[in-house]
Chains A and B, each alone.
Chain A
Amino acid sequence: MAPRSFLQWPVVRQLSTGDLLGRGPAVTSAKTKAIAPRTATADRVVQSVCPYCAVGCGQRVYVKDEKVVQIEGDPDSPISRGRLCPKGSASEQLVNSPGRQTKVLYRAPRSKEWEHLDLATAVEMVADRFIETRRRTWQQEDDQGRLLRRTMGIASLGGATLDNEENYLIKKLFTAAGAVQTENQARI
């Protein structure tokens, strides 16, 4: 290794760069100088909202090569002013978590294991079961002859983590099918 010139002495660097406390450019390594934050190199930034609690903090989603590379607080939000809590700050990992399931799984009756199913097949099977259960458990009237027009054989639970538009389609479809037992966390 070549002997260092005195110009590379820390104290000289601190004085020459104005970084008197030695916490900035005077001590930045070549490696650090060569890298840039993911937020700076992202292809685009998309405005979003934190998916955890109901405060509704603004998020900025940084995307590179069609992958989410970072999620940060949105300083423009009058609700959160750029801040996020530990969960909101970790939400990039919610998207890219190694344990996240991205394949359809199916467990047959009495089976001890999951197996993979094709998505279209799974949706087809669910539709068949929906129709069959609805037919089998249909209640047209009560014992006094009053209209019921429903099934008590199909239920759902969930919605508080979903979008308004999604809740709307769920409620609309289930109500039209006569499946009255739709519920969500608001009951809990």
Chain B
Amino acid sequence: MANADCIIIQGSNMAECHPVGYQWVAEAKARGAKVIHVDPRFTRTSAVSDRHIPIRAGSDVVLLGALINYVLTNDLWFKEYVTAYTNAATLVHEDYRDAEDLGGLFSGFDPEKRAYDTSSWAYAEKGDGAIDEPGPGSEHGADATARAAGHAFGSGGPPLEHAEVQRDDTLQDPRTVFQIVKRHYARYTAEMVRDMCGIDAADFEYMVRAITENSGRDRTTCFAYAVGWTQHSLGAQFIRAAAILQLLLGNIGRPGGGIMALRGHASIQGSTDIPTLFNLLPGYLPMPSAGRHDSLEDYLSVIGSKKQKGFWADADAYTVSLLKAWWGDAATADNDWAYDYLPRLTGAHGTYETVMGMLEDEVEGYFILGQNPAVGSAHGRMQRLAMSHLKWLVVRDLNLIESATWWKDGPEIESGELRTEDIETEVFFLPAATHVEKAGSFTQTQRLLQWRHQAVAPPGECQSELQFFFELGQRIREKLAGSEDERDRPLLDLTWDYPTDEHGDPDAEAVLAEINGRHLDGPDAGKPLSAYTELRADGSTAAGCWIYTGVYADGFNHAANRKPGQEQGPAAPEWGWAWPANRRILYNRASADPAGKPWSERKKYIWWDEEQGKWVGDDVPDFPVDRAPGSKPDPSVGGPAALSGDDPFIMQADGKGWLFAPKGLVDGPLPTHYEAQESPVANALYPQQQSPARLVFPRSDNLSAPSAGTSGADIYPYVFTTYRLTEHHTAGGMSRWLPYLSELQPEMFCEVSPELAAERGLEPYGWATIISPRSAIEAKVLVTDRMRPLAIGGHTVHQIGLPYHWGVGNSAVVSGDAANDLLGVTLDPNVQIQESKVASCDIRPGRRPRGRELLDLVAEYQVRAGITIETGNRAVTDPAAEGIEPGPGKDGRTAGGPG
């Protein structure tokens, strides 16, 4: 970011939440870079930016779409980059219909399944065919949603059956991606931005000029976002919209460019790469689904095609090496490398579905490992009530967090919904080791693995997760030893033998070595692998996470590399190790022009050295190192060999950056503005109000507020958005038990504008009660000009800011009502992340009622708003206007009914 000439921070309060990372923004600014903060609130980031642009929460696609439109209309796009490196010239199949044609729906929407059949979005093939996914054909959006398939693109794009695309390099054919994108965003104008985002023309002009004047050969613009972009019912599309803009401006794969995800937990990137996630295996391989991945052959045939371009074509080697790492000698060619030892998915098994499964008594046992869902997950009441259905609960943490004590001091005990003496759940609290009491690696937000050495032994009965799970696995295996039951084979055949120290703590480096992988056969048998390109699908290699291969090359722990930064260049390659292959900027071949020369001296990074016949520069080239810029291999050869010299996006099936996504997204091939699940504003762009493919849970314990244009919307007239403070960490498990931090931020508050305070009679530093259709909470009132009412389509929209760090319980130094109790559960269909950055509420002065009266207050509002379980949960808003035949009483709008 220090190399950027313009930095747009949107969906993040970086200076507050990532203050030490922000020094690089400050450094760029000191060198003359322009820094713009787009956010509903004026925050600590706004205070140190060149300009703060207030925006209505959830309207980001309107703004980003308007930037795209401006760039295209005014011919400001980076022509050489876009034509060569993106799919702008690629033709889309003739069956494709855009949201512009169908009132906000794309072709293929299935109102019964509330999901898209995405096959009409495909690239055109020679003749009149379409380039489908590999395997039996296009997966229905409903099925892809269920396995949160979007998550699998964490290390590369969606697979295609082959990469023999049709192109029009003049970009004039109306079926080219370029023309489709241009049409799609034509109505995303500065006026629309004013009316939907509340951003005036001067601010829009300032922003668009800053970005376009700082993009091109000589200059680059960087975007930074955090959960302000992800936690929406169309969160993945927010980021996609930024990606389209950055590709059009040539800002990907170059120093000072890109889109920086600012993640909030020390190893949240690592826990996605090596996923404790239901839908993934290590390295973004999907978990097998029944019906789609029944055999290894089925699995390999759909996760990547040998005929597509790039390194995902070798997904078979990554898969087999993982199975060898886990099941060793029990994984053989004859048993398909023990593929059937893997359990299968049959739908969505994400954390919110699991919680609903608890309420149905389907889940008996639950481990909570350094996370605090009673406070930190959406719909806290549902989380806590669900836990009361468990037979047993294991909480492993440093402190007695609310997720461990809800049975004795949670809000539902106070409200009378639960009685401690009636709760059957057994609760185990197992104390954990801190980061200095164990050795291991974190992967930070730029994919960099950094090793921590152990400083001291854990106190008392505290243990690392490594030791606990190693011992739990040993005990389970001992208890099952000798079992003839076939279901126990995967546990008994598991490679589960790690050296331990005198305290029984396993050697974390031995685990890292297994993750890295080793040769199993030949002269190098037993030796660590040095690169994922060495992996084979014939059982001769084992690797626990292919993208991490190389971190333990030559038997050396490169995550522990610690050459001081001041002794290295800016990329600091000898500090830690970044996946893949210690590359610091991904797709960096795009930092050179199609002929392999740097775009400019100022932005020089990786280039083709004619004499040496290879790519060289300041980083590890992210390209086949000897592939000349002018190479034009036959695309039908497939794999890395099929990459042309101007295919920088080596993990994409066609080697190009995708402006239009023919595969991989379930809610549309192009980002399109829809309102949030709950919104006081009607969608001015389309008859369709909300994202039609969003994942809803119509249940009596998950009611939604009516949206604009339906009766009852005025009962919850305000927008609230949740956020974080620098003095606390997420749900507080690592901060509210620390006296220093608790003293700095002792209590829950809400931020409101002076205008809203006057409208509702809120007293500064007095109490307010905030009511949503799920719950009501209380907070101290902070009246501040930092919250600005926005003029949206002739109406005033007030937004309320709520930090979410506090929870109700007796163990922490400080406690308070939890903002997440106000939220319902509505999910992004690509990745199943909840919409928690925007929802509707009312606010009034005074403390909330206690006991039963709290439930009565919430119910009274629901009744006044006329809410039913259908409210807000319709897939298609206006079937007649969107080309969908209304079924009687099903999808048709019923007069006067809530929408």
B254 to chain A, nearest CB (A): 20
Asked if A30 CB lies within 8 Å of chain B CBs, one says no
In the complex, chain A residues whose CB is within 8 Å of the CB of B728 = 87
Asked if A102 CB lies within 8 Å of chain B CBs, one says yes
Residues of B241-284 contacting chain A, CB below 8 A: 262-278, 281-282
B336 to chain A, nearest CB (A): 12
Contact of A102 among B268, B272, B365, B461 (CB under 8 A): B461
Contact of A90 among B262, B397, B470, B738 (CB under 8 A): B738
In the complex, chain B residues whose CB is within 8 Å of the CB of A32 = none
Asked if B436 CB lies within 8 Å of chain A CBs, one says yes
Contacts known (A76-B565, A124-B475, A167-B271); A149 close to B487, Cβ less than 8 A: yes
Contact between chains at B343 and A178 (CB < 8 Å): yes
In the complex, chain A residues whose CB is within 8 Å of the CB of B450 = 49, 56, 58
A63 to chain B, nearest CB (A): 5
Query: Which A-chain residue is minimally distant from B559 (CB atoms)?
Result: A164
In the complex, chain B residues whose CB is within 8 Å of the CB of A14 = none
Residues of A155-182 contacting chain B, CB below 8 A: 155-182
Asked if A26 CB lies within 8 Å of chain B CBs, one says no
Asked if B398 CB lies within 8 Å of chain A CBs, one says yes
Query: Which A-chain residue is minimally distant from B408 (CB atoms)?
Result: A112
Asked if A114 CB lies within 8 Å of chain B CBs, one says yes
Contact between chains at A130 and B476 (CB < 8 Å): yes
In Å, the complex CA distance between A130 and B474 comes to 13
Residues of A19-59 contacting chain B, CB below 8 A: 46-58
Asked if B480 CB lies within 8 Å of chain A CBs, one says yes
Contact of B427 among A102, A106, A138 (CB under 8 A): A106
Contacts known (A123-B472, A164-B449); A106 close to B23, Cβ less than 8 A: no
Contact with A along B728-749 (1 / 0, CB 8 A): 1110001101111100100000
Contact between chains at B453 and A46 (CB < 8 Å): yes
Stretch among B13-21, B91-99, B160-168 lining the A interface: B13-21
In the complex, chain A residues whose CB is within 8 Å of the CB of B83 = none
In the complex, chain B residues whose CB is within 8 Å of the CB of A49 = 266, 435, 442, 444, 450-452
Contact of B441 among A52, A99, A109, A165 (CB under 8 A): A165
Contact between chains at A157 and B351 (CB < 8 Å): yes
In the complex, chain A residues whose CB is within 8 Å of the CB of B392 = 126, 129, 133
Residues of A68-83 contacting chain B, CB below 8 A: 68, 71, 75-81, 83
In the complex, chain A residues whose CB is within 8 Å of the CB of B420 = 110-112
In the complex, chain B residues whose CB is within 8 Å of the CB of A101 = 397-400, 429, 431
Contact between chains at B461 and A176 (CB < 8 Å): no
Contact between chains at B265 and A108 (CB < 8 Å): no
Query: Which B-chain residue is minimally distant from A99 (CB atoms)?
Result: B737
Contacts known (A49-B435, A127-B479, A186-B271); A86 close to B472, Cβ less than 8 A: no
In the complex, chain A residues whose CB is within 8 Å of the CB of B263 = 53-54
Contact of B270 among A53, A80, A107, A167 (CB under 8 A): A167
In Å, the complex CA distance between A177 and B353 comes to 20
In the complex, chain B residues whose CB is within 8 Å of the CB of A71 = 436
Contact of B487 among A51, A80, A86, A138 (CB under 8 A): A138
B47 to chain A, nearest CB (A): 16
Residues of A138-156 contacting chain B, CB below 8 A: 138, 140, 142, 144, 146-150, 152-156
In Å, the complex CA distance between A137 and B457 comes to 38
Contact between chains at B727 and A166 (CB < 8 Å): no
Contacts known (A131-B476, A161-B265, A161-B370); A153 close to B737, Cβ less than 8 A: no
> For chain A, which range describes its interface: under 10, 10 to 19, 20 to 34, or 35 or more residues?
35 or more
Contact with A along B461-481 (1 / 0, CB 8 A): 111111011111101100110
Asked if A94 CB lies within 8 Å of chain B CBs, one says yes
Asked if A85 CB lies within 8 Å of chain B CBs, one says yes
In the complex, chain B residues whose CB is within 8 Å of the CB of A149 = 340-344, 487, 490
In the complex, chain B residues whose CB is within 8 Å of the CB of A148 = 290, 343-344, 346
In Å, the complex CA distance between A50 and B460 comes to 23
Asked if B428 CB lies within 8 Å of chain A CBs, one says yes
Asked if B888 CB lies within 8 Å of chain A CBs, one says no
In Å, the complex CA distance between A178 and B291 comes to 17
Contacts known (A55-B20, A171-B282); A163 close to B441, Cβ less than 8 A: yes
Contact between chains at B448 and A56 (CB < 8 Å): yes
Contact between chains at B566 and A146 (CB < 8 Å): no
Contacts known (A52-B729, A100-B737, A186-B268); A83 close to B23, Cβ less than 8 A: yes
Contact between chains at B740 and A90 (CB < 8 Å): yes
In the complex, chain B residues whose CB is within 8 Å of the CB of A68 = 436, 455-456
In Å, the complex CA distance between A184 and B616 comes to 39
Contact between chains at A85 and B19 (CB < 8 Å): yes
Contact between chains at B469 and A170 (CB < 8 Å): yes
In Å, the complex CA distance between A174 and B276 comes to 9
Interface centre among B462, B468, B565, B727 (most CB of A within 10 A): B565
Asked if B371 CB lies within 8 Å of chain A CBs, one says yes
In the complex, chain A residues whose CB is within 8 Å of the CB of B265 = 52-54, 160-161, 185
Contacts known (A99-B399, A183-B351); A53 close to B264, Cβ less than 8 A: yes
Contacts known (A157-B367, A160-B271); A152 close to B512, Cβ less than 8 A: no
In the complex, chain A residues whose CB is within 8 Å of the CB of B740 = 86, 90, 93
Asked if B572 CB lies within 8 Å of chain A CBs, one says yes
In the complex, chain B residues whose CB is within 8 Å of the CB of A123 = 468, 471-472, 475
In the complex, chain B residues whose CB is within 8 Å of the CB of A144 = 291
Contact between chains at A46 and B436 (CB < 8 Å): yes
Contact between chains at B17 and A147 (CB < 8 Å): no
Residues of B530-583 contacting chain A, CB below 8 A: 544-545, 548, 562, 564-566, 568, 572, 575-576
Asked if A122 CB lies within 8 Å of chain B CBs, one says yes
In Å, the complex CA distance between A113 and B405 comes to 10
In the complex, chain B residues whose CB is within 8 Å of the CB of A142 = 290, 346
Asked if A12 CB lies within 8 Å of chain B CBs, one says no
A52 to chain B, nearest CB (A): 5
In Å, the complex CA distance between A80 and B445 comes to 13
In Å, the complex CA distance between A75 and B564 comes to 8
Stretch among B312-320, B356-364, B702-710, B874-882 lining the A interface: B356-364
Contact between chains at B575 and A67 (CB < 8 Å): no
Contacts known (A160-B271, A160-B371, A180-B349); A107 close to B426, Cβ less than 8 A: yes
In Å, the complex CA distance between A147 and B811 comes to 45
Contact between chains at B354 and A183 (CB < 8 Å): yes
In Å, the complex CA distance between A150 and B378 comes to 27
Interface centre among B266, B282, B408, B726 (most CB of A within 10 A): B266
Contact between chains at B350 and A187 (CB < 8 Å): yes
Contact between chains at A147 and B461 (CB < 8 Å): no
In the complex, chain A residues whose CB is within 8 Å of the CB of B726 = 85-87
Asked if B434 CB lies within 8 Å of chain A CBs, one says yes
Asked if B178 CB lies within 8 Å of chain A CBs, one says no
Contact between chains at A166 and B465 (CB < 8 Å): yes
Contact of A167 among B274, B424, B453 (CB under 8 A): B274
In the complex, chain B residues whose CB is within 8 Å of the CB of A112 = 408, 420-421
Contact between chains at A104 and B430 (CB < 8 Å): yes
Contact between chains at A55 and B275 (CB < 8 Å): no
In Å, the complex CA distance between A89 and B394 comes to 30
Query: Which A-chain residue is minimally distant from B724 (CB atoms)?
Result: A53
Asked if A105 CB lies within 8 Å of chain B CBs, one says yes
In Å, the complex CA distance between A124 and B728 comes to 35
Asked if B407 CB lies within 8 Å of chain A CBs, one says yes
Contact of A105 among B429, B443, B812 (CB under 8 A): B429
In the complex, chain A residues whose CB is within 8 Å of the CB of B272 = 186
In Å, the complex CA distance between A154 and B833 comes to 21
Asked if B69 CB lies within 8 Å of chain A CBs, one says no
* 7 more A-B residue pairs beyond the given contacts A66-B456, A164-B440, A185-B265, with a C-beta to C-beta distance below 8 A: A49-B442, A54-B269, A56-B446, A78-B575, A79-B575, A142-B346, A163-B438
Which residues of chain A have a CB within 8 Å of any CB of chain B? 46-58, 61, 63, 66-68, 71, 75-81, 83-88, 90-91, 93-95, 97-114, 117, 119, 122-131, 133, 136-138, 140, 142, 144, 146-150, 152-188
Q: 17 A-B residue contacts at CB 8 Å? A: A78-B565, A79-B448, A94-B434, A99-B813, A113-B408, A129-B365, A153-B362, A155-B354, A158-B396, A159-B371, A162-B370, A164-B274, A165-B440, A167-B271, A171-B282, A172-B326, A182-B275
